């Protein structure tokens, strides 16, 4: 049986899922064009806009941003010391991996000032329009307000597997852990030592337990959202997987997502 069909047995009343490879092979189940709130997957989408701004020279990775001593790199990698939802620092810059919505709001303000336009407008022009993400919007915070569809997120994953908007070197940096020695918490899963994170994307590394599968390669990167959504890209196995639902993240997703990921990878071996 196609592993995608197992999502029909899961608790969410409404869900869709799909996979894609770098050559464009893909599969889908559920409403492929239905908008879902994607919560923190928004960070991954917005990060691609930041990476484009870096290549264009609009901003620079090590330019100051956020708390004193912090940079754009620190903010993308959740290493600025800012708290989850506060502009107050919870740790010295570069001392701990503290997952921070506030840090992404600072990134948006930094980009807006440099580009002389709202950050979400920059994202639309740099990412949304070139990739044809016609049904994706970021109506509020770039940390968590995104709305998207399965079709759009598979297009996004295709770009992450085989970049057309970025150089291969920039994409490699984005999925390489920054400040790799840092310890920190992945919300909903626990503390990891180390807790690798790239430029806006969580990096799997050797984390266990994890929301991806036990057979995902350590180079797997992506993001999940509190709205019950997840997206990962495994460049070593040339596969990306997207899952969208209308049920908030909880015990059901911690149980089902890793198993689902493993079964999808097994179907490609």
User: Tens place of pLDDT for every residue, the chain, 269 residues?
Assistant: 689 999 999 999 999 999 999 999 999 999 999 999 999 999 999 999 999 999 999 999 999 999 999 999 999 999 999 999 999 999 999 999 999 999 999 999 999 999 999 999 999 999 999 999 999 999 999 999 999 999 999 999 999 999 999 999 999 999 999 999 999 999 999 999 999 999 999 999 999 999 999 999 999 999 999 999 999 999 999 999 999 999 999 999 999 999 999 999 999 87
Q: What is the C-alpha to C-alpha distance for residues 206 and 186, in angstroms, rounded to an integer?
A: 13
Residue 124, domain CATH: 3.40.710.10
**29-35: long-range contacts at Cβ-Cβ below 8 A with a sequence spacing of 24 or more?**
29/2, 29/4, 29/5, 30/150, 30/244, 31/150, 32/149, 32/150, 32/151, 33/135, 33/149, 33/150, 33/151, 34/149, 34/150, 34/244, 35/135, 35/147, 35/148, 35/149
**Structural domain range at position 80:** 3-266
Total domains, the chain: 1
Q: Is 197 helix (H, G, I), strand (E, B) or coil?
A: strand
Q: Is 201 helix (H, G, I), strand (E, B) or coil?
A: coil
């Amino acid at each position: 049986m196609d592993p995608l069909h197992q999502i029909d047995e899961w608790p969410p009343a409404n869900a869709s899922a799909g996979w894609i490879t770098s050559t464009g092979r893909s599969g889908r189940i559920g409403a492929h064009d239905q908008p879902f709130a994607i919560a923190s997957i928004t960070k991954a989408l917005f990060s691609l806009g930041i990476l484009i701004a870096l290549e264009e020279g609009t901003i620079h990775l090590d330019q100051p941003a956020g708390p004193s001593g912090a940079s754009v790199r620190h903010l993308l990698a959740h290493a600025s010391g800012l708290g989850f939802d506060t502009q107050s620092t919870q740790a010295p810059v570069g001392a701990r991996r503290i997952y921070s919505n506030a840090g992404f709001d600072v990134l948006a303000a930094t980009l807006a000032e440099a580009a002389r336009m709202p950050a979400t407008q920059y994202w639309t022009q740099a990412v949304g329009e070139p990739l044809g993400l016609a049904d994706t919007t970021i109506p509020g915070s770039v940390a968590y307000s995104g709305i998207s569809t399965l079709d759009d997120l598979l297009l996004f994953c295709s770009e992450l597997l085989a970049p057309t908007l970025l150089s291969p070197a920039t994409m490699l940096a984005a999925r390489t852990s920054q400040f790799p020695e840092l310890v920190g918490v992945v919300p909903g899963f626990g503390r990891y030592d180390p807790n690798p994170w790239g430029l806006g994307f969580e990096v799997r590394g050797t984390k266990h337990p994890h929301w991806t599968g036990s057979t995902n390669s350590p180079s797997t990167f992506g993001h999940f959202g509190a709205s019950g959504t997840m997206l990962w890209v495994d460049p070593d196995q040339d596969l990306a997987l997207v899952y969208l639902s209308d049920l908030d993240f909880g015990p059901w997703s911690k149980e089902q997502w890793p198993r689902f990921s493993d079964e999808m990878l097994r179907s490609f071996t």
